Amino acid sequence: QLQLQESGPGLVKPSETVSLTCTVSGGSITSSSYYWGWIRQSPGKGLEWLGSLSYGGTNFYNPSLKSRVTISGDTSRNQFSLKLSSVTAADTAVYFCARLILQHLAHDHWGHGTLVTVTS
Amino acid sequence: QSVLTQPPSVSAAPGQKVTISCSGSSSNIGDNYVSWYQHLPGTAPKLLIYEDDKRPSGIPDRFSGSKSGTSATLGITGLQTGDEADYYCGTWDSGLSAGQVFGTGTKVTVL
């Protein structure tokens, strides 16, 4: 059964870069049928897509965050990562990693999320 | 921030039915499949509906989806206390907000 698990620092200082990792088990991130992405939920707000990684294809990023977001993969560890630069308090959120089924354009498996708090 | 609009909350008694609307535009709902997600705080969001009206394996038929033009609807019949959660619609936007977009979210309360 496919499982995704986020990991990363719980606290980050303003202006720094936060790095999060999603470890995938039960499936390979190199499959061409899926994209692997990051979605966040700020306190009291809804879901916001950050971007998606595609092996052998094009990565997609949220246009409003594109200049600060980088998503990359490590096939040897079956992981993919998010880097978000120049963070501010507005980036405080629970960050989820998820698998997108390309054929259905739906995220069918999600991690439980990891809280990132931006504070000095 | 979200380009998809949902009602903030809906409620009904156990056993009753609720519907949640998701309003978008021709560049998102009008042009792409809609999916629906259930999210209980502190847990992983769960896919309920994909391709407008299809249910993944394991999702009961109490949950249904439909789409017409630039709007989509999620229906929940036989409401149960375990259905109390936040629900989000999602789709792709082919316009200026190109990429995955989610709705504003709807809190379902079982009275």
Q: Are B105 and B9 in contact (CB under 8 A)?
A: no
**Chain B residues with beta carbon closer than 8 angstroms to that of A111:** 44
Pair B19, B9: CB distance under 8 Å? no
pLDDT of residue B1: 59
Average confidence (pLDDT) over B14-34 = 96
Count of Cβ atoms closer than 10 Å to residue A26 Cβ: 10
Cα(B104)–Cα(B87) distance, rounded to whole angstroms? 9
Span A60-108, pLDDT tens digits: 899 999 899 999 999 999 999 999 999 999 999 999 999 999 888 899 9
Beta bridge partners of A114: A95
Contact in structure between B4 and B89 (CB atoms under 8 Å): yes
The per-residue pLDDT for A36 is 95
Give the whole-angstrom CA distance, residue A95 versus residue A73: 17
Q: Say yes or no: B51 contacts chain A, CB-CB below 8 A.
A: yes
Interface A:B, Cβ pairs < 8 A: 78
From the list B107, B110, B67, the residue with the least C-alpha distance to B90 is: B67
pLDDT at residue B75 tops 80? yes
Of the pLDDT bands very low, low, confident and very high (cuts 50, 70, 90), residue A10 is: very high
Q: How confident is the model at residue B97 (pLDDT cuts 50, 70, 90)?
A: low
**B100–A52 CB contact, under 8 Å:** yes
Interface test with A, best of B38, B94, B100, B101 (most A CBs within 10 A): B100
* Three-state DSSP class for residue B82: helix
Q: Are A49 and B35 in contact (CB < 8 Å)? A: no
Q: How far does B97 lie from chain A, in Å, by closest CA? A: 6
pLDDT for res B96: 73
Angle (CA) A30-A109-B28 rounded to 5° is: 90
**Can you give the pLDDT at residue A102?**
84
Pairing of strands B46-49, B35-39: antiparallel
Tokens of A64: 């409003």
Classify A39 as helix, strand or coil: strand
CB atoms within 10 A of CB B92: 22
B59 touches chain A (CB under 8 A): no
Residue A63 has its nearest CB partner, among B56, B88, B97, at: B97
Range B42-58 average pLDDT: 96
